[in-house]
Amino acid sequence: MISMRLNTFAIWILHFVFCIAAAGDALAAERKPDPPRRINIVLIMADDLGYECLGSYGGTSYRTPNLDALAASGMRFTNCFSTPKCSPSRVTIMSGRYTLRTTTTWGQLPKNEITFGHVLRDAGYATALAGKWQMVLLKKDPGHVRHFGFQESAVWAWHEGARYYKPMLYHNDTVMANTKDKYGPDLYCDFLIDFIETNKDKPFLAYYPMALTHWPKKDEPPGPNGKHLKFKGMVEEMDRQVGKLTAALDRLGLREDTVILFTGDNGTPTNVTSIMNGKKIKGGKAKLTDAGTRVPLLASWPGTIKAGSVNNDLVDFTDFMPTLAELAGTTVPKDRVMDGQSFVAALRGNNPKPRQWVYTWWSGKEWLRDKYWKLYADGRLYHMKADAAEKKPIKKGAGDADAKVARAKLAGLMADLKKSAAHEKGR
C-alpha cells in the first residue's frame, strides 16, 4: 500500500516537472533572442599625409608605431585614391559623389547634399565629428556641421583662428570656451573619446578629420614652445593621437565591435621628401600624380578583418559613403546618383566584384584610371606599372595595341561619367 502511494507520488512529481519544463520552453520560444550588436565606426582622415609616410607602407622617415599596429591588426590597401586637395576630398568622402556632381567651388559642400553623417544618424547611430571642417566660415553659419548629420562636433572652421595652440574651435554651434594654453589636436581627440564613452552602449560613428599634419599658418602658433613645427614632429604627433583613440576603444572593450578606417585627404606637401623602401619620394599635394592622389588606407576590425592582410583593389574616396552605410546595415540615398562602391566585402576577405576604375578632378584637370592605365582629359595616357612617375606620356594615336584599347575604354568611361553629371545638373 505504501509502495503504491510512493509510486503515485513519484508520477505526480514527474508530471509537475514536465509541466514546468514545457512552460519554460514555451516562454523561451516566445522570447526573441537579443539582436547582434551593431558595428561602431571610427573614420580617421589625416591632413596632407601621403602613403609614403607610414612605416607599414615602407616609410622610414617617421615613427608611426600606432598606425603600423593598426595595419598589423587588419588590412592595408595599396590603391586608395583621393583628390589632390583637402576640401574636394572632404566633399567627396562624405557625399559618395564626384565633384563633377557636387561642386567645382573651393571648400563648399552644397546644402542639398546628403552625407554619411545623415545616413548613419537616420539609421539610429550617434554621430560626432571633431577636427578640421574646411567647408564654410562657421561664424556665418554656426549650425553647418549639425546640418550635415553630425549631432556632436568640436571643429576648427576655416581660417577663423588657430587650429593648434590656443585654438579657436566651435563646440556644436558655439565658440568653445577655455582653449587658452590648450593644444587643438588633444581637444579634438579627447572630445571624440568622451563621445565614445558616452555612447558605448549604442552604435556610434566618430569621424575624425584631423588638423595634423597640415602646417600651421605663418601667424599661427604650432604648439607649446614651438611644438611640432617640423613635418616629422607633426607626423609623429598625428600617430600619437591615433594611438590615444585606439587605446580608449581597447579600454572600453569595444575593439571587436568597432571598425577603424584610417586614410589621408591628399598627398604630402611638395617641399617634403620622405624615404620609402629605400627611395626618395617627393610630396605631390595639389598634383594629380600618384604622389598627390594616392593615399594610405588602413582598416582594423579584430575578429573580422584578417590580421596583416594586404588588399590591392582600387578604392575611390566616393566608396566610403556606401561602405559606411553597409557596415551600419542601411542604404545610401536613392534620389541621386552615387558614384561609390562599398568595399565591405574586401574587409571580410572576399570581394568578387572590386571597382574597376577610379576618377578624380582638381582645378579644371581630371583623369580616369584602372590598375594599369591612366588617362587625362587632355589626352595623355600612361602605363602606370611601367611609368608610375608619369614621365613618358603616350599621345593620342601612338602606342601599341594595348595602349589603344586602354585609351578607348577609359575615354568612353570618362565621357559617360561627364554626360551623367551634366544630365544630373541639368534636371
pLDDT for residue 12 is more than 60: no
Percent of residues, the chain, with pLDDT higher than 90 = 78
pLDDT single digits (tens) 234-245? 999 999 999 999
pLDDT for residue 193 is more than 60: yes
Q: Given this model, what pLDDT does residue 196 score?
A: 98
Question: What is each CA distance from 258 to 79, 189, 253, 323, 332, in whole angstroms?
Answer: 23, 17, 10, 14, 20
| Mean pLDDT of the region 258-264 | 98
pLDDT single digits (tens) 43-52? 999 999 999 9
Q: Given this model, what pLDDT does residue 46 score?
A: 98
Question: What is each CA distance from 39 to 80, 203, 219, 380, in whole angstroms?
Answer: 23, 6, 42, 43
Is this prediction's pTM over 0.75? yes
Unique residue bearing C-alpha cell 552602449? 201
pLDDT for residue 23 is more than 50: no
Q: Given this model, what pLDDT does residue 30 score?
A: 53
Mean pLDDT, rounded, of the chain: 91
pLDDT band at 2; cut points 50, 70, 90: very low
Percent of residues, the chain, with pLDDT higher than 70 = 90
pLDDT for residue 58 is more than 50: yes
C-alpha dihedral sign at 119, 121, 127, 131: positive
Contact between 403 and 383 (Cβ < 8 Å):
yes
417 CB neighbour count, 10 Å cutoff: 19
Cα separation, 205 vs 324, in Å, equals 9
Decide which of 161 and 17 is more confident: 161
Task: Report CA dihedral (404, 407, 413, 417) to the nearest 10 degrees.
Answer: -150
Q: Given this model, what pLDDT does residue 36 score?
A: 66
350 CB neighbour count, 10 Å cutoff: 7
Contact between 357 and 333 (Cβ < 8 Å):
no
The C-alpha cell that represents 257 in the structure block: 565591435
pLDDT for residue 185 is more than 60: yes
pLDDT for residue 105 is more than 80: no
Cα separation, 5 vs 23, in Å, equals 27
Contact between 152 and 128 (Cβ < 8 Å):
yes
Contact between 144 and 135 (Cβ < 8 Å):
yes
| Mean pLDDT of the region 94-120 | 88
Domains and CATH numbers, the chain: 40-352 (3.40.720.10), 364-426 (no CATH)
Cβ burial, residue 226 (10 Å; 0-12/13-18/19+): exposed
Phi, psi dihedral angles at 203 (to 5 degrees): -70, 140
pLDDT single digits (tens) 332-385? 999 999 999 999 999 999 888 999 999 999 888 999 999 999 999 999 999 999
Between strands 40-46 and 204-209, the pairing is: parallel
Unique residue bearing C-alpha cell 588617362? 375
pLDDT for residue 173 is more than 70: yes
pLDDT single digits (tens) 133-164? 988 888 889 999 999 999 999 999 877 889 99
Contact between 93 and 317 (Cβ < 8 Å):
yes
Q: Given this model, what pLDDT does residue 404 score?
A: 97
| Mean pLDDT of the region 60-66 | 98
| CA terminus-to-terminus distance, the chain | 95
DSSP 226: G
pLDDT for residue 22 is more than 80: no
Cα separation, 204 vs 150, in Å, equals 11
pLDDT band at 328; cut points 50, 70, 90: very high
